[in-house]
């Protein structure tokens, strides 16, 4: 079962996960992080940046792989995930740019881009800790409902609901690309530790389906139930539709501190 942690704020969520990431890097200087975009992981990046400011740590060896990228945005486009990762993760955390990878969404080389990305992750020894958000449709990365649990990095079509959700980042809804290249659910499941975060009432049903619903490709988030080490960090609103909430609180309250997350 995934471990469910309910926190009182995004800030607490960020601090909890950042402490775990920091411990990982302290133990393994070339830790491989799985990086998510979107608004959800921002408190983790903010807490990590703060932690490195207060108590400097050599992060020059840290490697990273982003989950996904839009297809066809011009190089340097402000909303391309390569730029977002650079702005929100590489720069504030002081990571080494050429050690952080984002799938290549350039149209010209798209056919081989998925296999190339898989090879790079494998060559790095796999992802140690994968940060994840979840879409309203239940998507992980951009694996929309119906995605195979065995899928690897490949080109996908964005669900209209996801395009609409992401329109807030673009000048007009039309500008949101229709395609993306995303790690597959199979890729994500190979990471050694999954940390899924969700905040707000609009994520509550996707979280209930992922954590407690049947394991089904119709709910990509439910793939977490097939993984041996998953931590789900939620605020009260995102946790609101979970049936076993009392048990999750009880388990967390009684967890030995040495176990970490
Ligand atoms: C985006 C990303 C996902 C992200 C999800 C939720 O489109 N491709 O990786 O987890 O949708 O986004 P947010 O965290 O902004 O709610």
Q: Which domains does the chain have, with CATH numbers?
A: 3-256 (3.40.50.1360)
DSSP string, 127-154: -SEEEE---TT--BTTB-TT--TT--SE
- Give the number of the atom of ligand 1 that is nearest the alpha carbon of residue 37: 9
Q: How far is the CA of 227 from the centre of ligand 1 (A)?
A: 20
Ligand 1 atom with the shortest distance to the CA of 41: 14
Quote the pLDDT of residue 261: 92
What's the predicted TM-score (pTM) here? 0.97
pLDDT 10s digits, 78-135:
999 999 999 999 999 999 999 999 999 997 889 999 999 999 999 999 999 999 999 9
Q: What angle do CA 200, 198, 92 make, to 5 degrees?
A: 110
Check if 67 has its Cβ closer than 6 Å to any atom of ligand 1.
yes
Query: Looking at 134-138, 229-233, 237-241, which range is the least confident one?
Result: 134-138
* Cα 246 → chain centroid: 26
pLDDT at 258: 85
């Amino acid at each position: 079962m995934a471990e469910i942690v309910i926190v009182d704020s995004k800030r607490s969520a960020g601090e909890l996960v950042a402490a775990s990431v920091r411990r990982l890097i302290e133990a393994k200087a070339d830790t491989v992080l799985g990086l998510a975009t979107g608004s959800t992981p921002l408190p983790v990046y903010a807490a990590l940046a703060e932690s490195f400011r207060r108590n400097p740590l050599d992060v020059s060896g840290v490697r990273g792989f982003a989950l996904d990228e839009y297809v066809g945005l011009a190089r340097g486009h402000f909303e391309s995930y390569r730029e977002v990762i650079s702005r929100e993760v590489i720069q504030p955390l002081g990571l080494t740019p050429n050690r952080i990878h984002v799938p290549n969404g350039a149209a010209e080389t798209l056919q081989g881009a998925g296999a190339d990305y898989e090879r790079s992750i494998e060559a790095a020894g796999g992802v140690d800790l994968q940060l994840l958000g979840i879409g309203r449709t239940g998507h992980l990365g951009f694996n929309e409902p119906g995605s195979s649990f065995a899928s690897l990095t490949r080109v996908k079509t964005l669900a209209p609901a996801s395009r609409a959700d992401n329109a807030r980042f673009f000048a007009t809804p039309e500008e949101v690309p229709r395609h993306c290249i995303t790690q597959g659910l199979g890729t994500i499941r190979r990471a050694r530790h999954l940390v899924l975060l969700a905040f707000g009432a609009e994520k509550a049903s996707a979280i209930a389906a992922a954590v407690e619903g049947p394991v089904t490709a119709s709910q990509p988030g439910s793939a977490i139930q097939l993984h041996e080490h998953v931590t789900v960090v939620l605020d009260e609103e995102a946790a609101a539709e979970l049936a076993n909430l009392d048990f999750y609180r009880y388990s967390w309250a009684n967890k030995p501190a040495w176990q970490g997350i």
